[in-house]
Structure 1
Amino acid sequence: MSSLLKNLSRHQKQMILIVVDLLLLPIAFVGALAVQRNTFPDYTVLREWSLLLVALCSTAFVFSWALGISRIRLSAYDIHGVWQTALFATLLGVAGAGLSVVFTVSFPGSFFVLFALVYFLTCATARIAMLQILLTIYRRAHTRCRVVIYGAGTTGIQLASALKTHEAIEAVAFVEDNPRLVGTRAAGLSVYPGFKLPDIIEKNEVHRVLLAMPSLSMPKQLQIAKHIETLGVEVQTLPSFSQLVGEEPLVNRLQNISPAAFLGRTHLSQNAPDLTNAYTHRVILISGAGGSIGCELSRQILAARPKRLVLFELNELALYNIEKELSALARDLDVDLIPILGSVTDARLVANVLKTNNVEIVLHAAAYKHVPLVEKNPLAGMANNVLGTHSLAREAMAAGVAKFILISTDKAVRPSNFMGASKRLAEMVVLDQASRSTVCVFSVVRFGNVLGSSGSVIPLFQEQIARGGPLTLTHRDTTRYFMTAQEAVQLVLHAGTFASGGEIFVLDMGKPMPIYDLARQIIEANGYTVRDSANPNGDIEIEIAGLRPGEKLHEELITNTPLQPTQHPKIMIAVDVGLPEIHVAAVIRAIRTAVASGDKKACTDIAVRWVDGYKRDRLQAKAFGLTTQVFGSTTQSD
């Protein structure tokens, strides 16, 4: 039956409504006569008025089509439809009075007023009855979705009213946190307190809860949704009317905020000198070109108009994205853009790429950098970060490359994690090559965290805010050095211009930033408030999860060795002699053996033996009792 009704065309449905209206007209006419005369008229009397009824039906057909009564959908029959029906009945009453004169049928004037009233009530009642019949048919043909509306305010009531005519969704109750609304009825539904939601869901076999609280902040809505989902039902959010018409964002109020806004200082290299002379018309290879630093290196190097830019990357998608971004600009600047898909641990590929392209400068940014992942995968970390650096540096020297710059990290200084230990060993490899090279200049540039890079705290915090929180910190007192990718890369390129070989350049990153303060800034920058003991009604909570394996409270950029100035005020040189050549060779052999045999313990032993300050079983720098001097300020690691 439901399929038959649904297959009717719109024109057919309109004709059915017109026929129903015409059939109701004689019924209303006879009913009005019966009411007025207090008796049902007999057949002889009705036959005398048959011509009047026929004429009145013809008039009704014309009026119905002209007023569009039949074009009003049953499911949309509202107060406007009622007024249209009233106008239709009134016009028929007036027409009936006029036709009675034409056909010389005597009726008192009050009859046609009564007729119009009876016909109006009959038509309106018939439409409501037809709608209920159709809904019953449709509902029996479908499995109905029973819902609870969370929020009995204006939006919730409007939603409940709209669902009354829905064939597949049935609202069974309201749930409300406002005690003033609990216990009342709205749109024909009872309003219950929030704590009764599990009972309502169970007793009424509810499938879905609709959040009708658009004025509530998004984090609080998400928190409510998380709680409701634990009850085993689906949760959906309803926007407000103002959101639907575009006065407010419909989905999300989060905005992209520049990472530099959280530095608490001006950029370190705003008045940088021109780098054109150092990199123009040179052939430059960037390893790890698809990473956060690699991408920014590629952008800034391309702007300097090199002769050729080789993008060396292991990740296919990352390489595709950076090549797609730079290809049009490279064509405009007449720069050869060469994408190379491969690993720096592949010595044959590295040697072939360097020689084929006559590479003059190598900027080595390829590394596994995520501390927890490398902590769980030490063999991969050693292979990529140490053996990869050794392979690329050795082949660069063999190919006659003029300059090799390793991008390092503050986590390489007396590291407490495996990623930092592997980067420290990579630094030793580059310093060893520098001590033996007479052609290629080998140097290291060391800096801290890059704001907004993949896996860094700002994207993580933004994602957690989008989920409604909480923001997770490992420790209340954790601090980190931060710099934007743009300024870090600019200083790296500056350091490369005056590198002479064997230096570890350390970038001045300003004062370390408390991560807890950064979390608060990000919450407030997104328009929310922090929920804590001082503000229990806030939007987003900051949760302390505890230090992860290998994580320090405070990072370091140097050890106790003195710093030497350079021609750039924000670039220093840390004095570091590294390891003797024979020891570096022993380290490389040991790592190759450990990786080949899959011996994680051997990797740990290598790091413990050769990396100053590394202890595999210590999780914090505090365990070592370290005191660090960074640009004249003393920081105790506690």
Structure 2
Amino acid sequence: MTKIKNLLSFTKRKLALLLDFTILVFVTELFLFIFARIFPVTFEWRHYVALPGYFIAFYFILIFFTKQYRTMWEHSGSKVFLSLMLILLAATVGTFLLSMATFGFRPITVRWQAFIMFLLFLISYTALSGTKMLIILLYVRRHRRKHVEDEPRGHQNNTAIIGAGWTGTGLARLFENDHSIFKPVCFIDDNPQKRHRIIEGLPVAGTTRDIEKIVRRYHIHKIIFAIPSCDTESKKRIVGDCIMTKCELKIVPPLQEMVNKFDQNAIATRDVRIDDLLGREPMVFDMTAIREYIGDRVVLVTGGGGSIGSELCRQIADCKPKKLIILDIYENNAYDIQMELRRHHPELDLEVVIGSIADYERCRILFDTFRPDYVFHAAAHKHVPLMEHVPEQAVKNNVVGTWNLCELAAEFKVKRFLLISTDKAVNPTNVMGASKRCCEMVVKYHAQTCPDTVFCAVRFGNVLGSNGSVIPLFRRQIEEGGPITITHKDIIRYFMTIPEAVSLVLETGAFSQSGEIFVLDMGKPVKILDLAENMIKLMGLKPYEDIQIKFTGLRPGEKLFEELLISGEDMRKTANQKIFICKQIDVDEKTFRGELDKLISLAKDNKPEEVIEQMHAMIPTYQYPAVKKE
């Protein structure tokens, strides 16, 4: 079969070359014949032989040299016509110079010679490009008619492409073949200059305000969103309208998502995701700087099996560290990321350690054995409602664990220690946030007292898809038929994707100075009610009809909105315009250690009320109902 296809392709090329030869011979001879009868110029027999001969010879030499003879004109774009123009222009100049060198066009004057060659170029280009344009139009017409006659043609479905720009038209050409799962039948575009036009043989059926009508008129089953440069608000609106049609929706992904994929349908599009509906621009990070400082270093990730920790491990593995150590207390998660990394990075020197950050001796053995250069501390109790009932456990794990790791980082002269914190640490209203604020203070204390190690923290908002986030909860509630439960109709949160959060963490390590807390410019906060409604639409259902939304009231310690800065923290820009540094307020070295020891002692004695009161004493902005009553 391959040999037959190659033979057919070779035959088509020979026929195309023969057609070019025939057109050029006919056009040049006819041109000279007519020119001699209109203008006062006399041609000799050698002109009728040499001029076409030189011109055609130069043309074929150039198309073979530039490999233009391989062009499939039925799939060509404007660049090929520009190449044809340049080739004919070069052939014209070459013919003129060679003719002057051989017989000088005598008895024709130089002015007439230049005029003749200019007209020859124009007429030749018009004839060749017109013929090739006719081939393209006939091919497209036949191909589109075949699409209609073969409907529905197996597994293909009528597809509307939103965006008739370079991306959309490229997809239309890509999906022309019989094996594609998409059958483009129309474009949708807001550009008034494209309205009612035919592009790549497809009509521009209307604007993005007409999506529902276009779906009905063209019997659309699939929609491809192909406007990579679309602003976030318009994208939210368009994607939302597409979802309401219940058509299968695909989105053209960023270039980096296409790497290492080879199936054409996988490369061209991906499924719509919830972050496409958040209305915020994706972050861009300096991966070169990250690779430079992590490459060939020993790196420890605590909580490496969790949602943030595992993504940290993936991106660190891409940077080719000397050794990667994963510390996690939950063996199932640790095993999963271990298997994944060994599968994708067989060359990686990987060590997985099961243990608790609260176990000082276990951690000391780990530091003594592997001597890490960098520590990324992601292990923590993070569930807000659960920690409200066991504040002593939050302190034992989060605060004690962070203290242990900071002490060991200083003792073993770790180059950088980076704590993953949260926006809930700012003016905390819950135990989890208060415990993380204590962790930030522990890091700041060591930054002030241990100059050999850079201690810093990264503070960000909610992470899409992480364990305990609203996304998996909402998805499960929708799958169960509802209702979706939201604590308050006006509650808002900042969101980012897990890869963004981790890239932020890694990039901060590249330029961090001791004692700093890094904050991400996360754009506009997202209303949780809007997020829930979009998730319902994303799953092909209608809010309040197919799935109800129920408001349950704010939980203890829950805020309507989160903050990223504490009053008095100074904000400074970094090289990345989306990352800011807030210079943390210094801790009192004389009193902090005593207050911390008291907090840890109360936690070990399992005295939850006293633990809360002590955290309030250490963090005056910590507001807790039990404290407020006093």
Q: How does the TM-score come out when normalised to structure 2?
A: 0.56
**Residues 427, 623 of structure 2: 8 Å contact kept:** no
1:515 aligns with 2:528: yes
User: What is the alpha-carbon distance in structure 1 between the residues aligned to residue 626 and residue 534 of structure 2?
Assistant: 31
Matches within 5 A, 1:248-287: 258-269=273-284, 273-287=288-302
User: What is the alpha-carbon distance in structure 2 between the residues aligned to residue 290 and residue 578 of structure 1?
Assistant: 33
Map Cα deviations across residues 200-226 of structure 1 (whole Å, 9 max, x no partner): xxxxxxxxxxxxxxxxxxxxxxxxxxx
Task: State the Cα distance separating 1:347 from its structure 2 match.
Answer: 1.0
What is the match of residue 16 of structure 2? none
User: What is the alpha-carbon distance in structure 1 between the residues aligned to residue 285 and residue 403 of structure 2?
Assistant: 34
Question: What letter is aligned with 1:614?
Answer: Y
1:591 aligns with 2:599: yes
What is the match of residue 135 of structure 2? none
What is the match of residue 295 of structure 1? 310
**Residues 274, 535 of structure 2: 8 Å contact kept:** no
User: What is the alpha-carbon distance in structure 2 between the residues aligned to residue 392 and residue 317 of structure 1?
Assistant: 23
Task: State the Cα distance separating 1:316 from its structure 2 match.
Answer: 1.1
**Residues 289, 507 of structure 2: 8 Å contact kept:** no
Task: State the Cα distance separating 1:619 from its structure 2 match.
Answer: 11
Match of 1:397 among 410, 414, 422: 410
What is the match of residue 312 of structure 1? 327
Distance change >3 Å, CA 370–CA 500, structure 1 → 2:
same
SS in 1 for 2:366: helix
What is the match of residue 242 of structure 1? none
Distance change >3 Å, CA 280–CA 541, structure 1 → 2:
same
What is the match of residue 582 of structure 2? 574
What is the match of residue 554 of structure 1? 561
**Residues 288, 364 of structure 1: 8 Å contact kept:** yes
**Residues 316, 341 of structure 1: 8 Å contact kept:** yes
What is the match of residue 372 of structure 1? 385
What is the match of residue 328 of structure 1? 343
**Residues 280, 524 of structure 2: 8 Å contact kept:** no
Large movers: runs of 4+ above 4 Å: 270-274
Task: State the Cα distance separating 1:271 from its structure 2 match.
Answer: 6.7
User: What is the alpha-carbon distance in structure 1 between the residues aligned to residue 501 and residue 612 of structure 2?
Assistant: 31
Task: State the Cα distance separating 1:582 from its structure 2 match.
Answer: 2.5
Question: What letter is aligned with 1:328?
Answer: R
Map Cα deviations across residues 167-209 of structure 1 (whole Å, 9 max, x no partner): xxxxxxxxxxxxxxxxxxxxxxxxxxxxxxxxxxxxxxxxxxx
User: What is the alpha-carbon distance in structure 1 between the residues aligned to residue 371 and residue 272 of structure 2?
Assistant: 41
1:455 aligns with 2:468: yes
Distance change >3 Å, CA 548–CA 256, structure 1 → 2:
farther
What is the match of residue 484 of structure 2? 471
Task: State the Cα distance separating 1:580 from its structure 2 match.
Answer: 1.3
Task: State the Cα distance separating 1:257 from its structure 2 match.
Answer: 5.7
Task: State the Cα distance separating 1:441 from its structure 2 match.
Answer: 0.5
| Equivalent residue pairs, number | 361
Unaligned stretches of 5+ in structure 1?
1-247, 249-254, 532-537, 624-638
What is the match of residue 495 of structure 1? 508
SS in 1 for 2:458: strand
SS in 1 for 2:424: helix
1:410 aligns with 2:410: no
1:356 aligns with 2:369: yes
User: What is the alpha-carbon distance in structure 1 between the residues aligned to residue 581 and residue 489 of structure 2?
Assistant: 32
**Residues 286, 297 of structure 1: 8 Å contact kept:** yes
Question: What letter is aligned with 2:547?
Answer: I
User: What is the alpha-carbon distance in structure 2 between the residues aligned to residue 454 and residue 342 of structure 1?
Assistant: 20
Distance change >3 Å, CA 580–CA 390, structure 1 → 2:
same
Q: Choose 565-574 or 442-451, whichever is displaced more.
A: 565-574
User: What is the alpha-carbon distance in structure 1 between the residues aligned to residue 480 and residue 377 of structure 2?
Assistant: 36
**Residues 285, 504 of structure 2: 8 Å contact kept:** no
**Residues 383, 591 of structure 1: 8 Å contact kept:** no
Matches within 5 A, 1:136-147: none
**Residues 406, 430 of structure 1: 8 Å contact kept:** yes
Task: State the Cα distance separating 1:370 from its structure 2 match.
Answer: 0.6
Task: State the Cα distance separating 1:559 from its structure 2 match.
Answer: 2.3
Task: State the Cα distance separating 1:511 from its structure 2 match.
Answer: 1.1
SS in 1 for 2:345: helix
What is the match of residue 433 of structure 2? 420
Distance change >3 Å, CA 274–CA 498, structure 1 → 2:
closer
User: What is the alpha-carbon distance in structure 2 between the residues aligned to residue 619 and residue 319 of structure 1?
Assistant: 39
User: What is the alpha-carbon distance in structure 2 between the residues aligned to residue 411 and residue 498 of structure 1?
Assistant: 24
User: What is the alpha-carbon distance in structure 2 between the residues aligned to residue 306 and residue 297 of structure 1?
Assistant: 12
User: What is the alpha-carbon distance in structure 1 between the residues aligned to residue 370 and residue 345 of structure 2?
Assistant: 17
Distance change >3 Å, CA 257–CA 375, structure 1 → 2:
farther
Task: State the Cα distance separating 1:346 from its structure 2 match.
Answer: 1.0
Task: State the Cα distance separating 1:264 from its structure 2 match.
Answer: 1.4
1:617 aligns with 2:625: yes
User: What is the alpha-carbon distance in structure 1 between the residues aligned to residue 278 and residue 318 of structure 2?
Assistant: 25
User: What is the alpha-carbon distance in structure 2 between the residues aligned to residue 419 and residue 430 of structure 1?
Assistant: 17
Task: State the Cα distance separating 1:394 from its structure 2 match.
Answer: 0.4
**Residues 552, 619 of structure 1: 8 Å contact kept:** no
User: What is the alpha-carbon distance in structure 2 between the residues aligned to residue 352 and residue 475 of structure 1?
Assistant: 47
Matches within 5 A, 1:75-154: none
What is the match of residue 547 of structure 2? 540
User: What is the alpha-carbon distance in structure 2 between the residues aligned to residue 322 and residue 387 of structure 1?
Assistant: 26
User: What is the alpha-carbon distance in structure 2 between the residues aligned to residue 509 and residue 290 of structure 1?
Assistant: 25
Question: What letter is aligned with 2:397?
Answer: N
User: What is the alpha-carbon distance in structure 1 between the residues aligned to residue 602 and residue 497 of structure 2?
Assistant: 36
**Residues 330, 337 of structure 1: 8 Å contact kept:** no
Task: State the Cα distance separating 1:256 from its structure 2 match.
Answer: 8.0
User: What is the alpha-carbon distance in structure 1 between the residues aligned to residue 439 and residue 472 of structure 2?
Assistant: 28
**Residues 285, 503 of structure 2: 8 Å contact kept:** no
Map Cα deviations across residues 308-353 of structure 1 (whole Å, 9 max, x no partner): 000000111111111111112332xx22100010001111111111
User: What is the alpha-carbon distance in structure 1 between the residues aligned to residue 589 and residue 531 of structure 2?
Assistant: 43
User: What is the alpha-carbon distance in structure 1 between the residues aligned to residue 297 and residue 564 of structure 2?
Assistant: 31
Task: State the Cα distance separating 1:384 from its structure 2 match.
Answer: 0.7
Map Cα deviations across residues 464-512 of structure 1 (whole Å, 9 max, x no partner): 0000000000000000000001011101111110012110111111111
Matches within 5 A, 1:28-39: none
**Residues 284, 362 of structure 1: 8 Å contact kept:** yes
Question: What letter is aligned with 1:304?
Answer: C
Map Cα deviations across residues 553-576 of structure 1 (whole Å, 9 max, x no partner): 000011233311112111111122
- Report the identity percentage: 42
User: What is the alpha-carbon distance in structure 1 between the residues aligned to residue 378 and residue 272 of structure 2?
Assistant: 26
Task: State the Cα distance separating 1:273 from its structure 2 match.
Answer: 4.3
**Residues 550, 618 of structure 1: 8 Å contact kept:** no
**Residues 263, 483 of structure 1: 8 Å contact kept:** no
Larger radius of gyration: 1
What is the match of residue 81 of structure 2? none
Task: State the Cα distance separating 1:618 from its structure 2 match.
Answer: 7.2
1:564 aligns with 2:577: no
Question: What letter is aligned with 1:369?
Answer: K
**Residues 296, 321 of structure 2: 8 Å contact kept:** yes
What is the match of residue 62 of structure 1? none
User: What is the alpha-carbon distance in structure 2 between the residues aligned to residue 385 and residue 588 of structure 1?
Assistant: 13
User: What is the alpha-carbon distance in structure 2 between the residues aligned to residue 263 and residue 272 of structure 1?
Assistant: 24
Q: Choose 266-275 or 597-606, whichever is displaced more.
A: 266-275
User: What is the alpha-carbon distance in structure 1 between the residues aligned to residue 520 and residue 627 of structure 2?
Assistant: 26
Matches within 5 A, 1:180-195: none
Question: What letter is aligned with 1:264?
Answer: G
Match of 1:530 among 534, 538, 543: 543
Match of 1:445 among 448, 458, 471: 458
